[in-house]
Amino acid sequence: MMLTLATRPLLAAACALVLAACTQSQPPVSFIAEGNPEKLSDWHLMAVSGGKLNLNKDVLPYDLNTPLFTDYAHKLRTVWMPKGQSAVYQADTTFDFPVGTIISKTFYYPKGGDGRTVLATTGNGNNSNGGAKDGDRLDLASMRLIETRLLVKRAGGWIALPYVWNADQTEAVLSRTGDQIPLEVLHEDKRSNKLTYVVPNVNQCASCHVADVKSRQFEPIGPKARHLNRDYTYEGVSTNQLEYLAKVGYLSGLPANAATAAPRNADWSDSKLAVDARARAYLDINCAHCHNDKGAANTTALHLNMGAPANLHLGLCKPPVAAGAGTGGRNYDIAPGKPDDSIMLYRLASAETGIMMPELGRGSAHKEGVALIRAWIAAMKEGCRNES
Minimum Å gap between C-beta 207 and other proteins is 7
Please state the three-class secondary structure of 290-353 as a single string.
CCCCCCHHHHHCCCCCCCCCCCHHHCECCCCCCCHHHHCCCCECECCCCHHHEHHHHHHHCCCC
162 belongs to the binding site for other proteins (CB under 8 A): no
> Are residues 115 and 62 in contact, defined by beta-carbon separation less than 8 angstroms?
no
Q: What backbone torsions phi and psi does residue 95 show, to the nearest 5 degrees?
A: -60, 155
351 belongs to the binding site for other proteins (CB under 8 A): no
Minimum Å gap between C-beta 176 and other proteins is 6
Among 52, 144, 289, 313, binds other proteins (CB under 8 A): 313
> What per-residue string of b and e applies to 157-187 under the rule 16 or more CB within 10 Å gives b?
ebbbbbbbbeeebeebebbeebbeeebebbb
Cα separation, 374 vs 196, whole angstroms: 26
Q: By rule CB under 8 A, what string of x and - marks binding of each residue 165-204 to other proteins?
A: -----------xxx-x---------------x-x-xxxxx
213 belongs to the binding site for other proteins (CB under 8 A): yes
Nearby residues of 270 by Cβ (< 8 Å), 6 or more positions away: 278
275 belongs to the binding site for other proteins (CB under 8 A): no
388 belongs to the binding site for other proteins (CB under 8 A): yes
Cα separation, 227 vs 92, whole angstroms: 10
296 belongs to the binding site for other proteins (CB under 8 A): yes
3-state DSSP call for residue 13? helix
Choose one: 111-119, 121-129, 242-250, 298-306; the region binding other proteins (CB under 8 A): 298-306
Beta carbon nearer to other proteins, 326 or 369? 326
Q: By rule CB under 8 A, what string of x and - marks binding of each residue 215-254 to other proteins?
A: -x--------------------------------------
Beta carbon nearer to other proteins, 257 or 311? 311
Q: By rule CB under 8 A, what string of x and - marks binding of each residue 318-337 to other proteins?
A: xxxxxxxxxxxxxxx-----
CA 132 to chain centre: 17
Beta carbon nearer to other proteins, 61 or 320? 320
* Sheet (strand 102-110) strand order: 60-62, 74-80, 102-110, 143-154, 157-165, 172-174
Beta carbon nearer to other proteins, 114 or 387? 387
Beta strands 52-55 and 192-199, pairing class: unpaired
- Footprint on this chain of other proteins (rule: CB under 8 A): 176-178, 180, 196, 198, 200-204, 206-207, 210, 213-214, 216, 296, 298-299, 301, 311-313, 316-332, 343, 352-355, 359-360, 363, 382, 384-388
